[in-house]
Amino acid sequence: MTKKTAAKKINKPPILYPQTQKIIAKIEKKLDGAFIAYWSSGNGSVCHNDVAAYFEVLKAMGHQKHLYLFIKSSGGNGQAALRIVNLLRQYADKITALIPLEAASAATMMAIGADEIMMGPLAYLTAVDTSLTHALSPVDRNNYSVSVSQDELNRVLRLWKESRDGGEANPYPSLYQQIHPLVFGAIDRASSLSIKICEEILSYHLTNAKERERISKHLNSAYPSHGYPIMLREAKRIGLQVSALDPALNDLLIDLNEQYSEMGQQAITDYDEMNYHDHEILNIIEGKGVAFNYQNDKDFHYRKEERRWVPLNDQSAWNRISMVGGKLGTKRFHIR
């Protein structure tokens, strides 16, 4: 990277902490308990580092009789979702999940850990069947490993059996030419893990073991698409404790999402056709008087021989956001 490139001004997203705190104050006036917002951008995800940031927010708020959790995320790591639910349960006697928009995959796992789920007109949960990006997974045209799900493999095997017409009886030798055998094993294990995680999360408030097993298996295997939207009516049919969000509360949550979406806009600085800098905010966890943002801070270089973008100079980290002397302050929150 040249000196001219390194000196180029980096595009940065806005930090709208004063605006989001005003909305959170309005939201808490409509609730009988404390409020925490968990938001991730399209490039963000539920991950293990979130747990440490949650811990700092919950410590600042103290133990609550009733905690309301706003969730907006397209998913991530199911085991991290289990850790988050476990942590929340240590700081609240009762939890209500507020879902105005999407709470998909691992975020659905977080939602079912609540005693009650309240969903707005635009809200949906999804299936939680596990797709896996393995070191030995197939690669796409950009030379990145692609995710493979248990459902996809099962459907390939079923179609093979239905259409072979007396041909090769064993499909695995042909499939192993496309997908490594270890990927098959890893996906089967991941699918079993997903069911186990759901059962464990539900056990925090659902005492009937058979019902926990039924709901977990349904969320893992009853849908033809990982992103199938499970809306309020179907969530009730599944057996989840769900109800409709109050319209005024839903509007405030949508307003909060707009502020977070402005903060989470892509902040890309193009150096040249082979290099750029990414400064996007991916995850936000915020309560009254306390907030944490996870922000990308890294360069990308296109490596021609590998046909892919590789990160360089990665300084990405969680940041604690606060008002100090009437001024907005940002402090690095180190997690290893």
Per-residue pLDDT of the chain (336 residues; tens, 9 = 90+): 554 455 678 888 899 999 999 999 999 999 999 999 999 998 888 999 999 999 999 999 999 999 999 999 998 888 899 999 999 999 999 999 999 999 999 999 999 999 999 999 999 999 887 654 545 556 666 665 666 666 666 666 666 666 665 556 677 676 766 676 666 665 655 557 788 899 999 999 999 999 999 999 899 888 877 788 999 999 999 999 999 999 999 999 999 999 999 999 888 889 889 998 889 999 999 999 999 999 999 999 998 887 888 889 989 899 999 877 778 888 888 776
pLDDT of 132 reads 45
Q: How many residues does the chain have?
A: 336
pTM of this structure: 0.83
Q: Which two tokens stand for residue 43?
A: 């490039």
The pLDDT score that the predictor gives to residue 157 is 65
- With contact defined as beta carbons under 8 Å apart, do 279 and 297 qualify? yes
CA 230/CA 205 separation, integer angstroms: 21
Specify the CATH architecture of the domain 13-127+223-333: Alpha-Beta Complex (3.90)
* Residue whose token pair is 């580092």: 49
281: tokens are 């905010």
The ranges assigned to domains in the chain are: 13-127+223-333, 131-188
106 and 85 in contact (C-beta within 8 Å)? no
Question: What distance in Å separates the CA atoms of residue 17 and residue 146, rounded to the nearest whole number?
Answer: 36
Q: Token pair for residue 1?
A: 């990277």
